[in-house]
Amino acid sequence: MATRLAANPIGLNRTRPFYQVHPTSSQATLQRSNFLRLQSNTPNHTRVLRRLACQKNPNPNPIESENPTVEPKSVEESKVSEATRSKAENSASAEFPNKGINRRIAAVTSVAALGLFVSGRLDVGGAGTLKDLSKDAIPYETAISNGMPTVVEFYADWCEVCRELAPDVYKVEQQYRDRVNFVMLNVDNTKWEQELDEFGVEGIPHFAFLDRNGNEEGNVVGKLPRQYLVDNVDALAKGEASIPHARAVGQFSSAEARKVHRIADPRSHG
């Protein structure tokens, strides 16, 4: 490249010759040193990025994982956990059979209670019911003429207290039947209207105790302890002049209810 100079008198343009001077070896070394210095001052992004890419944990403060790794349990801890789980399963399995057994026991108990209620209240099955007493009873006419002491019971099939006392009366009858007459008179039977008035029956069961001559020694009415009956019957069997319980009244059913239950059966002694 040439540099334009001022016009000369001749009118020709002159140019200053441009000489390219090659640097000497010392200058070249200096230039190379300066270049390297500049290169070293320039940030080496490529080298930094490559270093980051090679790091195993690029984030110095990593966030903990939501599902951390659980360390494996020791052998002893595993055995304890297994034993606890087995015990819980056994307890759960044993609970259901117990409930089933309890239900069956409750059902059997209910059936047994119902059976006792039916047999005791409704005179169904077993010995010692009103029907048993009526069947084994001595006819009234025979009792007052055979020379033995007599127990006369006035009763009714609808009388609840009579049904409750029937088993106790049956036991006493079985014990003294060879020495004492036991007579059963149903107040619903119109045949016994005269006897009802004679013995003053107002409540049932009414027990009249007669000596060997047919004379009344006393009476017991209603629900009373069994011993009252045993003491009186034993005194009659021994021929004693009096009975221990000549006048005793407990819970009874009114004889007035017989007006709606009356039956006419002169052939029946009950």
**Helix runs in 206-259, H state only:** 226-237
70: phi then psi, degrees, rounded to nearest 5: -90, 130
Instruction: Please indicate whether residue 159 is annotated as part of the active site.
Output: yes
Neighbours of 33 (CB within 10 A): 10
Q: Which of 162, 183, 233, 255 is catalytic?
A: 162
Check if 54 is active-site: no
C-alpha 242/C-alpha 201 separation (Å) is 21
CB 179 within 8 A of CB 148: yes
Tokens of 17: 């010759």
Evaluated on CA atoms 170, 176, 177, 180, the torsion sign reads: negative
Tokens of 208: 């009249």
Nearest-angstrom CA–CA distance, 121 and 166: 10
Name the packing angle between helices 160-176 and 226-237 (round to 10°): 40
Contact 211, 236 (CB under 8 A): yes
CB 188 within 8 A of CB 157: yes
Q: Look up residue 226 and give its amino acid.
A: R
Phi (first) and psi of residue 183, to 5 degrees: -115, 140
| Residue in 137, 148, 156, 159 annotated catalytic | 159
Residues pairing with 247 in the sheet: 219
Find the angle CA(26)-CA(28)-CA(33) to the nearest 5 degrees: 95
Give the residue numbers marked as catalytic: 159, 162
